[in-house]
Amino acid sequence: MGAMTMSTEERDQFLADLHVGVLTVERDDGPPLATPVWYRYRAGGLVELTTEVSSVKGTLLAASGRATLCAQNESMPYAYVTVEGSVTMGEATDEIRVDIATRYLGDEMGRAYVASTADSDDTLVQLTPERWRTADFAKLDLG
């Protein structure tokens, strides 16, 4: 374990905190697709997000069955958690969509966002963590 590596508890807390994630998915016809996403995570569980089934992201996720999510601090002290794993797709209920949207937008705007996108063909994407990478620059003694 390197000097900057997070413990399991630290990485779970970091990933559960509010970050816009970057989801990366393989594709056969070029470089991987990397796109920002809203997600939710509870320690020891799955990373969950929603996307439209018919979107490029949804199509690639269904085809590959795997993805990588990276969450980071964009200011000092820099830190990141990257999680790789298999994905499954299922029903994106309004409850799930509201939970994720209000996490990022607050209650009123999150509910309004979900209502305004009610006719989308959203699916729930669940990423099962299989491999982790972490770094926390706050752990460095640069003094």
Report domain extents, the chain: 8-135
Pick the CATH number of 8-135 from 2.40.420.20, 2.60.40.650, 2.30.110.10, 2.60.120.10: 2.30.110.10
Q: What is the pTM of this model?
A: 0.93
Contact 69, 80 (CB under 8 A): no
Cβ count near 17 (within 10 Å): 12
Q: What residues pair up with 91 in beta bridges, in sequence order?
A: 123
User: With 70 as the cut, is the pLDDT of residue 68 above it?
Assistant: yes
- Look-up of token digits 């399991």: 8
* 6 vs 68: CA distance, rounded Å: 18
User: With 70 as the cut, is the pLDDT of residue 143 above it?
Assistant: no
Q: What confidence score (pLDDT) does residue 116 get?
A: 94
Contact 69, 11 (CB under 8 A): no
pLDDT band at residue 41 under the 50/70/90 scheme? very high
DSSP H or E stretch at residue 13 = helix 8-16
User: What is the pLDDT of the chain when averaged over all its residues?
Assistant: 94
Cβ count near 124 (within 10 Å): 18
Give percent of the chain above pLDDT 90.
87
The mean pLDDT value for 8-23 works out to 97
The mean pLDDT value for 103-131 works out to 95
